[in-house]
Amino acid sequence: MPAKVVVRDLSKRYGLVEAARGVSFDVEDGEIFGLLGPNGAGKTTTVECLLGLRQPDEGAISICGIDARREPREVKQHIGAALQTTALQDKITPREALGLFASFYRVSLPPDTLLHRFALSEKADAPFDTLSGGQRQRLALALAFINDPELVFLDEPTTGLDAQSRRELHAEIRRMKEDGHTVLLTTHHLEEAEQLCDRIAIIAEGRIIETGAPRDLIARSTRLQTVHLTTSARLDETVMDGLPDVSDLSQENMTLRFRTPAASRTIADLMQRLLAQGVEITELHVQKASLEDVYLERIATEGARDPHATSTGVSRQP
């Protein structure tokens, strides 16, 4: 299947600021693709160019096989979008909003179907200004699906939602993939990207600096695994002597912490020494490198190249 989104050498300048500098990436059919990047990295500009909200200075954009720069309105027939915050008129109801938006497309789903799917049936006739944040976001998703789109853009969809609403939204996004939709997701939440995305692209300073599946990116990371070991008695510090590839060794009370590129072999050697000393292990925890580690590592590397980069813009989910 051809890629749903093909972006090549996309550039956009605002005065002296180059917001996007030769951005290129593909989004394959049926995948959830995450676009990660700190504030000001060019993520929003890139997405806005894809959505037709901004006109790029240079580059090519193909969406669903259509040249998005030449036929932006045709592209919009095939895509849906839920922005970070969806604003509608205060007194419009979800049923009216869906009916209105349905009239904008050649093909549309019945509003009642979407109201049911996005758990809005009970609020179908309630004014928009009486909906909760989660209900508004579900309405935004329902509006994005009104034309049964091939490709869905989700821009920071969980921002401002509580844990329950976020969990429901994650389930909905997974369902989109199961139903065969392609999803392009922008998010600040690395765990969200790690959990949901088949592939991600990290964008910084207007450039794509890394692309791939989260596990591949983690595997490529040079970061070491961290081992936390808690024992029944305080260990003699010499117990670690001679163990290969151990670094950043530290001990606090009865917990030993160190980094190693070969956790299994190091732990096996350590176990033998502890057995010999008669020390019981009460807790053992091995922490692999996370997407956050990869992200921070790559952003830091990019920042070292570019003195203007000062913030990672990353956030942990509460």
Partner 1 sequence: MNALLSQLQINLRLYFRNTMALVYGYLFPAIFLLAFWVLYRYERVPLVRHMGELLTIAVLGGACFGLPTTMVSERERGVWRRYRLTPVPTLTLVGSTLLARYVILITAGLLQVGLAMSIGMPLPHHPLQLFIVFSCVAFAFMGLGLVIATLADNVPAVQALGQCIFLPMLIIGGVAVQLSSLPDWALHLSAFFPGRYAVGALQAAVTGGGLHEAAFDVIALLAIGTAGSIAGAGMFRWDAQQRFRSNPRKGWLAVALAAWILTGAAAEGLGRVALPAPPSTVANPVNAQAPANPPPAAPAAVSAPPAQPNAVPPVVSGPDSATAPASGTAARGSGERRAAESPVGRGGPAAPGAPTAGVSPPNAVGSRSSAEGPTPKPPATPASSPEQLATPAAWQAVTLANIEADLTFTRLPSDSGVVTPVAAMTQDPDPDVLDDLETIRTSLPEWGPAKVTDPLQRVRNLLLVAAVPDVFQMPIEPFVPWVVFAEIQRTVPKDDLMKILYWIALHPADGSNAAVEDLPALGIVRGRVDIEEARNRAAVYAVKLLGQLTGKRPAR
In the complex, which residues of this chain contact partner 1 (CB under 8 A)? Answer: 51-53, 73-74, 76-77, 81, 83, 85-89, 91-92, 96, 99-101, 103-105, 127, 143
Q: How far is the CB of 166 from partner 1 (least distance, A)?
A: 22
Q: How far is the CB of 64 from partner 1 (least distance, A)?
A: 13
18 versus 96: smaller Cβ distance to partner 1 = 96
Please answer whether residues 66 and 78 qualify as being in contact, where contact means their C-beta atoms are separated by less than 8 angstroms.
Answer: yes
51 versus 185: smaller Cβ distance to partner 1 = 51
Q: How far is the CB of 151 from partner 1 (least distance, A)?
A: 12
Q: How far is the CB of 49 from partner 1 (least distance, A)?
A: 13
Please answer whether residues 108 and 146 qualify as being in contact, where contact means their C-beta atoms are separated by less than 8 angstroms.
Answer: yes
41 versus 227: smaller Cβ distance to partner 1 = 41
Among all chains, which residue has been given the structure tokens 């935004």? 140
Please answer whether residues 35 and 186 qualify as being in contact, where contact means their C-beta atoms are separated by less than 8 angstroms.
Answer: yes
d(Cα 44, Cα 29) in Å, to the nearest integer?
Answer: 22
Q: How far is the CB of 92 from partner 1 (least distance, A)?
A: 6
91 versus 285: smaller Cβ distance to partner 1 = 91
107 versus 300: smaller Cβ distance to partner 1 = 107
Strands 32-36 vs 182-187: parallel, antiparallel or unpaired: parallel
25 versus 101: smaller Cβ distance to partner 1 = 101
Q: How far is the CB of 105 from partner 1 (least distance, A)?
A: 7
138 versus 298: smaller Cβ distance to partner 1 = 138
Q: How far is the CB of 100 from partner 1 (least distance, A)?
A: 5
Q: How far is the CB of 148 from partner 1 (least distance, A)?
A: 14
Please answer whether residues 144 and 108 qualify as being in contact, where contact means their C-beta atoms are separated by less than 8 angstroms.
Answer: no
51 versus 235: smaller Cβ distance to partner 1 = 51
